[in-house]
Amino acid sequence: MLAPGAGRFGDALRFEKKIDQVVGYRVPGNFPYQTNRWSGTVSFWLRVTPDEDIEPGYSDVIQVTSKSWDDASFFVEFTKDEKPREMRLGVYADKEVWNPNNRDWGKMPMEEKPLARVLRPPFRRDRWNHVVFTWENFNTGRPDGVCQLYVDGVTAGSISAREQTFHWDLSKSVMMLGLAYTGWMDDLAVFNRALSAGEVMTLHHLPGGVSDLRR
């Protein structure tokens, strides 16, 4: 639901409980997919105390795919079992690329999974926290695709170079928001290139959020 005046910059999205419906946007026109040398950035703000506010189970603040969570997918999630809950950036290429032998995800060593982990995320419901992730060199066919995760303008994790080939059916590709997430979200923005660390810090400090970039 829309929460008037409750955002970091005006209104906000308020996810009050788990729902069966998917809230989000179709990729065409909203998310800059490219079939070669693809890069980009996603930025948003959250207000939540994960261990207290989010119901049991995995919680995806955002997920973008045309398939499933482990097949050509981006997501930012809070984990289900760890205390405190971790925040993770997952960037999974086509499953046949990153997991060609269809190994059991639960039995794979953590270092083999395409995840960036924040073990003690600093989130609290009485303040807003800024999350940004970037990707570069996707859909090159080479092991040179990299990702960066930032929290409050500072590098919080990364996914090292690997082949990042994404084949999406654009008629089915969706940027989904608030999957089992309960909390606030504000100022979602998607860029068609990877912002530098300096640009992420500048974005973090914009007094009016991303709307300042249009002035």
Q: Sketch out the chain's domains with CATH numbers.
A: 2-100+110-209 (2.60.120.200)
The DSSP bridge partners found for residue 43 are 132, 189
How big is the chain, counted in residues?
215
- Look at residue 91 in the predicted model and tell me its pLDDT: 98
- H or E segment at 117? strand 115-118
Paired tokens of 77: 């999630």
In order along its 215 residues, the chain shows pLDDT tens digits of: 888 888 899 999 999 888 777 788 999 999 999 999 999 999 999 999 999 999 989 999 999 999 999 999 999 999 997 889 999 999 999 999 999 999 999 899 998 999 999 999 999 999 999 999 999 999 999 999 999 999 999 999 999 999 999 999 999 999 999 999 999 999 999 999 999 999 999 999 999 999 999 76
Instruction: Return the pLDDT at 88.
Output: 97
CA dist., res. 42 & res. 160, Å (int): 18
The structure's pTM equals 0.95
| CB atoms closer than 10 angstroms to residue 119 | 13
Going from the C-alpha of 212 to that of each of 9, 129, 133, the distances in angstroms are 11, 18, 20
**pLDDT at res. 151:** 98
